[in-house]
Amino acid sequence: MSLLHVVQNESRESEGSRRWSCGAMRALLWVVGIVILFVLGSWLVWLSSYLQRTYVEEDIRTACQRVMPDTVQRCIDTVVIQRGGARR
């Protein structure tokens, strides 16, 4: 009678492959998470730098407008050069 099947070897193989795929999936999720955090952190650093530069330029522009309303652009250029940040 051939009604009996031996399934022990197949169950071990599928169990081992399940462990491998679970471990690989965890590793992949960690790598994806780290990459996303790195991209998000880099973008936040860039954004804060951009906003700070914009606010500083705005402050310089308003101060030059108060002090030298006739030559605002010349005043802005002079202050930016004196601070060591020629961006043009």
62 falls within a domain: yes
Question: How confident is the model over 14-32, as pLDDT tens digits?
Answer: 555 666 688 888 999 999 9
Number of structural domains found in the chain = 1
Residues of the chain with pLDDT under 50: 88
87 falls within a domain: no
2 falls within a domain: no
**What pLDDT was estimated at residue 87?**
56
What does pTM read for this prediction?
0.59
Radius of gyration of the chain (CA): 32
Phi, psi values for residue 27, rounded to 5°: -65, -40
1 falls within a domain: no
Number of helical (H) and strand (E) elements in the chain, helices listed first: 2, 0
3 falls within a domain: no
